[in-house]
Amino acid sequence: MKLCRYGPSGSEKPGLLDTQGRVRDLSAILTDLTPDALTLDSLSRLEALNPSDLPLVETPGRFGPPVTGTRQFIAVGLNYSDHAREAKMPIPAEPILFTKGVSCIQGPNDPVVIPRGSQKTDWEVELGVVIGVKAYDVSEADALNHVAGYCVVNDVSEREYQLERGGTWDKGKACPTFGPVGPWLVTTEDVPDPQDLAMWLDVNGRRVQTGNTRTMIFSVANLVSYISKFMTLLPGDIITTGTPPGVGMGQSPAPWFLKPGDRVALGIEKLGEQTQQVCGT
């Protein structure tokens, strides 16, 4: 099942995609795709609906982030073996965790704004994991039972802020517009194996990232279990799980980064595509 939110920013409505990829309005069923809508019972009720019984949205226009009310946006660094080699960094023994401020979450096709003075704004296609059931200290064997579904995330990053300004990575990860999410939340029954999803990213039509979630160092189940040892994961929380090689910082013969006017397009198998125009402040 593919769930979405469509409409102007701040006034999105909940929707469901039918078998032909058309948006059906869920407003008579749900007020919005909030954390309460991600429970197993709620998702089961939505799954039982006949999409043809729901109003067809002829022109959905803008898509917003597919969930609202996210309280924690947690990220994992250096989680692809081929990306770690590209970055010339050792394979981590345990997951590297940092946070992206929830204030950076935006729709999948909304513009990305380069912060004032930034010289190193970068791209990262990533698999997003949306929590559906509260999780604290869960086992790896049980971890996926706490997942509502998956989505595409562009973990936009400012490398100077992240790596050259001291302290944690967080400061390079949470600028406004640095968290495009969506277009859909694809529930787990449609993604039986999150460890075998092809992914890609283009800048101005040039393919710069090609990867697959099978090269993740720490699997989705491992990450959910691991993170839950240190914090309570809540319904609607998003974990973005790392990126394959091909980021701007790793380009050869020299790094290059986003500039106003650039166009970024990215996607993950089964989960849809995003497109962002890059703007200056």
pLDDT at position 88 over 80: no
**Longest alpha-carbon distance in the chain:** 55
Three-state DSSP state, 32: coil
* Contact call for residues 156 and 82 (beta carbons, < 8 A): no
Same domain, 114 and 190: yes
CATH number assigned to the domain comprising residue 175? 3.90.850.10
Enter the pTM of the model.
0.96
Residue 161 lies in a domain: yes
pLDDT tier at 166 (50, 70, 90 boundaries)?
A: confident
Q: What is the pLDDT of residue 15?
A: 98
Kindly state whether residues 15 and 149 are assigned to the same domain: no
- What lies within 8 Å, CB to CB, of 57 at 6+ separation is 6, 15, 22, 23, 24, 25
Q: Name the pLDDT band for 10 (thresholds 50, 70, 90).
A: very high
Mean predicted confidence (pLDDT) in 141-163: 96
Q: The tokens of 234 are what? A: 């809540």
Q: Are residues 7 and 126 in the same domain?
A: no
Spatial separation of the C-alpha atoms in residues 85 and 228, rounded to whole Å:
28
What integer pLDDT is reported at residue 79 of this predicted model?
A: 95
Encoded tokens for 281:
């402040």
97 DSSP 8-state letter: E
Both 274 and 163 in one domain: the answer is: yes
Indicate if the pLDDT at residue 84 is higher than 90.
no
Same domain, 39 and 119: no
Q: Name the more confident of 204 and 87.
A: 204
**Based on the number of CB atoms within 10 Å of its own CB, is 280 exposed (0-12), middle (13-18) or buried (19 or more)?**
exposed
Task: Evaluate whether 90 touches 231 at the Cβ level (below 8 Å).
Answer: no
In this model, does residue 122 exceed pLDDT 90?
Answer: yes
Q: Are residue 77 and residue 48 in the same domain, yes or no?
A: no
Q: Say whether both 110 and 231 belong to one domain.
A: yes
* Cis status, amide bond into 14, omega within 30 of 0: no
Q: What percent of the chain has pLDDT over 90?
A: 91
Q: Do 251 and 157 belong together in one domain?
A: yes
Tally of domains within the chain: 2
Partners of 112 in beta bridges: 278
Model confidence band, residue 82 (pLDDT cutoffs 50, 70, 90) = confident
Is residue 78 domain-shared with residue 158, that is, in the same domain?
yes
Say whether both 133 and 233 belong to one domain: yes
Residue 166 lies in a domain: yes
CB 76 within 8 A of CB 124: no
Examine the domain organization and report whether 78 and 35 are in the same domain.
no
Task: Quote the mean pLDDT of the chain.
Answer: 96
Question: Looking at the domain assignment, is residue 65 inside a domain?
Answer: no
Return the amino acid letter for 12.
E
| Domain shared by 92 and 206, yes or no | yes
pLDDT over 70 percentage in the chain: 100
Cα separation values, 270 from 222, 243, 280, Å: 21, 17, 32
Mean pLDDT of 37-44: 94
Q: Looking at 88-97, 112-121, 222-231, which range is the least confident one?
A: 88-97
The residue range of the domain holding 176 is 73-279
pLDDT at 163: 86
Q: Domain for residue 168, yes or no?
A: yes
